[in-house]
Amino acid sequence: MLEQRRILLIVAGGIAAVKIPDLIRRLRERGAAVRCILTKSGAQFVTPLTLAALSGDKVYTDLFDLKDEAEMGHIRLSREADIVLVAPATADLMAKMAHGLADDLATTALLATDKPVMIAPSMNVMMWTHPATQANLSTLQTRQITVVGPGAGDLACGEVGDGRMAEVPDIIAALSRHFQKDVRRGPLARRRAIVTSGPTHEPIDPVRYIANRSSGKQGHAIAAALIAQGADVTLISGPTTEPTPDGVKLVKVETAEQMMKAAQAALPVDIAVCAAAVADWGVSNPAPGKIKKTAGAKPPTVKLAPNPDILATLSKPGSRRPRLVIGFAAETSNVVKNAKTKRVSKQCDWIVANDVSPGTGTFGGDHNTVHLVTADGVEDWPTLRKQAIADRLVERIATALSGKASRE
């Protein structure tokens, strides 16, 4: 999605600016052209020479450069780009953007641009949560400025909390999603995919249900990554508060039975990613009314019955089997061993295995540590943000399907 895209990158002052050389490198690897504006404070953390060497273009720093401004440089810079990216976006620069100040080259270019703007905030947690910053953020969002991050974690000041600039893969994914809205192209163009996500709720009575702690973050991130690479995606989601990725066809379900029917209705597809944490058992005799507790009464007996096995059903050989079927294995012990056994027993192609033991923070968290189990072996991936996991997985999917005919 970034091939031949022109990105004007504004680098403000903050310790997160040390991540910008890697961001530029990754953007250029994907075919993007990057031109940089470096603020005076940004130059305290990264040099113009570094940015110029990596971007392959001149770095602009001075509003009153006689040659550039004779050519109306601030206007030209802002108009020649496809998007303006501010990373890191400090509290000071966000305030100036919100109030329309233009006292240097960066703010002048931002005020003069007619192109989309994306910011990656980075600051101390107290600065981020301050009412002034939050008010400025709301103002910028009403102007259709895209915000990526910030994340939570250890900050350079020694405190812990929100304020970390989004990781490089997350910024790249956000840029890819932005350009995907313009045109459906990419290595997975014309490929069709199913992604299941979130938990299932198996009713005990009209009030109570059996569920699990899945948030749907990983499944939704995978759907977004597939969309960004051009796929036509049906997202089948159990109950979750996660926002729906742009461009997907969303099918909302509650039970495993409903999820199974939705998956079968979406066939045929090229790719099936079963990321949902589907309850293995449902209640065989859910009560038609709320089960009442009465004094001295014994607890009711809940009879369980096996739920349909979505992953195994989609993996069965046949004309409607997706070309690539990927399951997830949420384990609390013997993670890789159990995942290997599951891949064989379900007849799927890949298993993404992760440890969901208490204390890992996997369920509901923003990070994940996974092992990709295939017929060729096991890949141990480092701990990454869930969007970065999704991007890496989708890159592997695109490679695996390259050269194969899509299902028309």
Q: What pLDDT shows up at residue 240?
A: 94
In the chain, the N- to C-terminal Cα span, in Å, equals 22
For the domain 6-179, what is the CATH code? 3.40.50.1950
CA distance 120 to 172: 11
Q: What pLDDT shows up at residue 107?
A: 93
Whether 286 and 279 have beta carbons less than 8 Å apart is answered as: no
- Helix intervals (H) in 187-228: 217-228
Whether 165 and 174 have beta carbons less than 8 Å apart is answered as: no
Does position 68 have pLDDT exceeding 70, yes or no? Answer: no
The structure's pTM equals 0.58
Q: What is the pLDDT of residues 204-248, one digit of tens each?
A: 999 999 998 899 999 999 999 998 888 999 999 999 998 888 778
Closest CA to 372 of 363, 361, 381: 381
Of all helices (H) and strands (E), which one includes residue 138? helix 131-142
Sketch the domain layout of the chain as residue ranges: 6-179, 187-401
Place of tokens 């509901």: 364
* Residues facing residue 351 across a β-bridge: 327, 373
Two domains, one topology: 6-179 and 187-401: yes
Q: What pLDDT shows up at residue 405?
A: 46
**Residue 109 structure tokens:** 């270019």
**Residue 147 structure tokens:** 């915000």
Residue 65's pLDDT band, with cuts at 50, 70 and 90, is low
Q: What is the mean pLDDT of residues 73-82?
A: 76
Neighbours of 69 (CB within 10 A): 16
Residue 331's pLDDT band, with cuts at 50, 70 and 90, is confident
Q: What pLDDT shows up at residue 407?
A: 42
CA distance 242 to 248: 13
Whether 223 and 248 have beta carbons less than 8 Å apart is answered as: yes
Whether 283 and 203 have beta carbons less than 8 Å apart is answered as: yes
When computed from its CA atoms, the radius of gyration of the chain, rounded to whole angstroms, is 24
Is 36 among the residues known to form the active site?
no
Which amino acid is present at 252? K
For the domain 187-401, what is the CATH code? 3.40.50.10300
Look at strands 232-237 and 249-252 and give their pairing: parallel
Q: What is the mean pLDDT of residues 335-345?
A: 95
Q: What is the pLDDT of residues 103-120, one digit of tens each?
A: 889 999 999 888 899 999
Of all helices (H) and strands (E), which one includes residue 341? helix 335-346
The set of residues, in sequence order, having a beta carbon less than 8 Å from that of 239 and lying 6+ positions away, is 198, 199, 201, 211, 252, 254
Q: What is the pLDDT of residues 179-216, one digit of tens each?
A: 865 545 678 988 999 999 999 999 999 999 999 889 99
Place of tokens 């009879």: 303
Is the pLDDT higher at 272 or at 144?
A: 272
Name the average pLDDT for the chain. 88
